[in-house]
Structure 1
Amino acid sequence: MSGFQGPRPRAIGRIHWMGARTLFRRELGRYLKEALETVLAPAFQTLVYFIVLVFALGPERGTEEGDALLSFAVPGLILMAVLFRSAETTAFSLLFDRMEGIISDILMAPLGAAEMTAAYALAGALSGLVTGTVVLAGTLLVWPMPVAAPWAVIAFAALGALMMSLAGVLIGLWCEKWDHLAAAFVFVLVPLTFLSGVFVPADALPEPFPALIQANPIFHAISGFRYGFLGGAEASPLTSLAVVAGTAAALWGACGVLISRGWKLRP
């Protein structure tokens, strides 16, 4: 019996891939279980926005100017669904886990801040992209639009989803109860999103709104995404790409630092 050797412990490298993948799949599964709310509801909401815009055009409906306005607004509506869903997924997950004490089980697992940040952020971003794909398919059925630059559609949808998913992580860490979560969306994310050139060009608004809107990273995500469909944008696509990617990187770093310090995670 002296030569008996028990099972060797699992070797974990610098990155615990299995743990990160498990947490990612758990978060994505939570999102998919509520498909009626997380997928179909945003698609229906976007369709309602589109119908309201069509009727709001009044005599302009069916004219060249009216069609141009709808073509301008549709990409913004699609990406808006992606951004909201990405932020809502991570914010809800983190707050729920903290309030129910589930976060203690996650903290006891051999997961570092990098793995936790990646799992939550990527699951939230992918959930937003899934919702956006359904919204895009439904929208294009009622308002077909050519894709001028497919790379821009993919790049800005993915980076915008990741950016807002990380913003959702920060919100989920900051909130103490559901009222705080609702306030963060109503008073911060909703105004930032609606005041980002979704429905009208920023230059069409009086000063100082154009300058303020163009300083909003969400504006650059929507502008770049719109460029992918229309081939033209209010801001340079490369500048917008740099702004969105830089904001996502900064948020990723902030989330990693706060999670590594256990900010509002540890009792």
Structure 2
Amino acid sequence: MSMDQGHRPAGAFNAGIDRRVPPFHWVAFATLCQRELRRMVKMAAAFLIAPALMAMIYFVCFLFGLGPQRGTPHGDAVLTYLVPGLIMLSILLRAAENGGFMLLYSKIEGHIIDELMAPIGARETVPAYLLAGVVAGMGSGLVVWLASLLFWPLPVEHPLMALGFALAGALFMALCGLLCGLASTKWDHISAYFTFLFTPLSFLSGLFAPVDAMPPLLATIVKLNPIYHAMEGFRHGMLGAASQSPALSALFLLASIVLLYALATRLYASGWRMKS
């Protein structure tokens, strides 16, 4: 005896529901993005206020460290060169932190099991984590830029170029952070990546001084670092001048992003270090 559709018992199969998994699960992607963005908002002080204070401390240290050259054309050139680097540094590190720490948090707390069991895959989860990382990085960079207008205002020569390199740099570092989050199984692991990898690579990428002033061999090695190309491209957008061709920097950065994205999706899809 058939049962009326309106009085179907709980748990009964409903043939009217489409259970096919689409090629890209937009609902799952939007849900993951919403979860990560809400989590980021709860930690806004760490992602927004702290980077601005740190950038101001760096700037003040350089300001007083110039000594007699403070207020001279040479001293002003040093500070002008420094500001875009501090903005980009905040963007890069915050993007990496959000991408890596949030994934590791889900692994440690067991939330990752829900993602692995749901009818979604790397095609939805990886972009969701990356989007949250990019938003965190760009938000942090925006706060640092606004703070810089108070103590060293600079006109932006090429706004679209600066924005493009900022987004590309944030995406690259979000991928780096995500890969570190995949590789890590506890907080000490991911902290080590930032201490011994990301921070040195960021500081040796033309943050404080032109790379061409380094010894030739060291300068050649530094120019193989994608962070250097993100810094130089963003500085060109801000100041209108850089030692590296913006087109070359863009191609190098884009190739790095494509390779890391392919690696991240492959590792996530295979469940590498996710189930232990």
Please indicate the TM-score interval, normalised by the length of the shorter structure. over 0.9
Aligned to 2:179: 170
Aligned to 1:248: 257
1:19 aligns with 2:28: yes
Within 5 A, what are the aligned runs for 1:1-267? 4=5, 6=14, 7-9=16-18, 12-267=21-276
| CA offset digits 1:231-259 (Å, max 9, x no partner) | 11111001101111111111111000000
Distance in 2 (CA, whole Å) between partners of 1:23 and 1:169 is 15
Q: TM-score, normalised by structure 1?
A: 0.96
The amino acid of 2:82's aligned partner reads A
Distance in 2 (CA, whole Å) between partners of 1:62 and 1:245 is 39
Q: Return the offset for 1:13.
A: 1.6
Q: Contact 1:28–1:124 (CA<8 Å) still a contact in 2?
A: no
Q: Return the offset for 1:10.
A: 5.3
| CA offset digits 1:208-239 (Å, max 9, x no partner) | 21111111100000000000111111110011
Distance in 2 (CA, whole Å) between partners of 1:141 and 1:21 is 37
| CA offset digits 1:47-76 (Å, max 9, x no partner) | 111101101111110000111111111101
The amino acid of 2:55's aligned partner reads T
Distance in 2 (CA, whole Å) between partners of 1:250 and 1:105 is 27
Distance in 1 (CA, whole Å) between partners of 2:27 and 2:5 is 28
SS in 2 for 1:13: coil
SS in 1 for 2:272: coil
Percent identity over the alignment?
Answer: 43
The amino acid of 1:262's aligned partner reads G
Q: CA RMSD in A?
A: 1.4
Q: Contact 1:86–1:162 (CA<8 Å) still a contact in 2?
A: yes
Question: Which portions of structure 1, spanning 4 or more consecutive aligned residues, are displaced by more than 3 angstroms?
Answer: 1-7, 9-12
Q: Return the offset for 1:207.
A: 3.1
| CA offset digits 1:192-211 (Å, max 9, x no partner) | 00000000000111232111
User: Please, which runs of 5 or more residues in structure 1 have no aligned partner?
Assistant: none
Q: TM-score, normalised by structure 2?
A: 0.93
Distance in 2 (CA, whole Å) between partners of 1:165 and 1:56 is 33
SS in 2 for 1:208: helix
User: Please, which runs of 5 or more residues in structure 2 have no aligned partner?
Assistant: 7-13
The amino acid of 2:205's aligned partner reads S
